[in-house]
Homo-oligomer: A and B are copies of this chain.
Amino acid sequence: MNNFEFYSPAHLVFGKGVENRVGEMLVGKCKKVLLHFGGGSVKRSGLYDRITASLEKAGIAYCVQGGVVPNPRLSLVYEGIDLCKKEGVDLILAVGGGSVIDSAKAIAMGVCYDGDVWDMYQTGKAIEKALPVVTVLTIPAAGSEASGDTVITNEEKQLKYGYGSNHLRPLMSFMNPELFYTLPENQVANGIADMMSHVFERYFTNTTHVELTDRLCEATLKTIMHNAHKVLDNPENYEAWCEIGFAGTVAHNGLVGCGRDQDWGCHNMEHELSAIYDVAHGAGLAVLTPAWMKYVYKDNIPMFVQFATQVMGVEGSFRQPEDIILEGIEKLRMFFLSIGQPATLSEMGIEEKDFELMAKKCTGAAFGAEHPVGGLKKLYWQDVLNIYKLANE
């Protein structure tokens, strides 16, 4: 096991009706919040009214900025920073899914930084502070409600970069699984793929003697897969949504990755897809992950045998480990198809002519300084290209 730090301070408030407690829980923590959200659904559903009523009852002032889109944009972040400075906002309340929360985190650090907030995404420069972020989650997927991570798209430059800091970990997150009932099926499926990928990126490692986190990863993955069809078949299955929602947080609050080298190859490869094509992150991951597994498994046969048997439930002879592994990968691919994910990149509208450019952007080769991505196997741009091609078969 590697040395590690685990720090997940977000106070999770979970269950029916918890959005009505936002105001009371924020008393003494802020004077004026920015209520940050996406489209009109939070208003149509009544969530907006419940939260603003709760803030008003608690005597907390607020101003409002909607309009966050999937693959959240830098231009809106700039507007949010200006608004917060003008209005004297001291806490960002993100109401939405990962995109809204990531956008809120960008604003939270931008308000406390004198330069251009894109600097952090571009250079990875450490921040000293940020405004506190509180979330009310409406889409379980990104795990951003407990993580210190944010991913922003610079639409001018066609770049999608991530950034992480403990200063960006939310102070508090409210999760009412009833809010997930009205999600469109494709968003549910994308969320499931995304949270599974957050575990996979930590699970697949060459670090040995990481037994507890191996088991925790497997527990989380099995729970997600076991409940995925339940929420897709019956969108008002509260108990199944509880499992999916809570698993989404556990998948990305850092716990299941403690003491392990991590991978993040698939996430890096996917970001290139959605930077150019604006496709759903989860769908890209669902297509890329089985292809990545096929490409890399020979580098760590025991890791993939464990995955196939302990996560995917493959039985068979350990004397043909590759058979077990390939069956496990195929079962995962079939699972993704069964929840409605596309089978290939071309099915997502991604054209083969762009593969090479995306591969070169992914590793930095396009910018003259290549840094391979991935942990279990280091991937150079040619590897990434091969995986994109495998993901198109």
Contacts and interface: CB of A to CB of B under 8 A. Distances in A.
Interface of A: 1-9, 11-18, 208-209, 211-212, 215-216, 218-220, 222-223, 226-227, 239, 242-243, 246-247, 250, 255, 258-259
A203 to B, nearest CB: 13
A13 B4 CA distance: 6
Identical subunits present: 2
Contact of A14 (B15, B216, B258): B258
Contacts of A5: 11-14
Contacts of A250: 212, 216, 255
B226 A220 contact: no
A3 B21 CA distance: 13
Contacts of A12: 4-7
Contacts of A219: 212, 215-216, 218-219
A2 to B, nearest CB: 7
Given A5-B11, A14-B6, A212 B218 contact: no
Given A8-B8, A258-B246, A239 B209 contact: yes
29 contacts: A1-B15, A1-B239, A1-B242, A3-B15, A3-B18, A4-B12, A5-B11, A5-B14, A6-B11, A6-B12, A6-B14, A8-B8, A8-B9, A14-B258, A14-B259, A15-B259, A208-B239, A209-B239, A211-B227, A211-B243, A212-B219, A212-B223, A212-B246, A212-B247, A215-B220, A216-B219, A216-B220, A218-B219, A250-B255
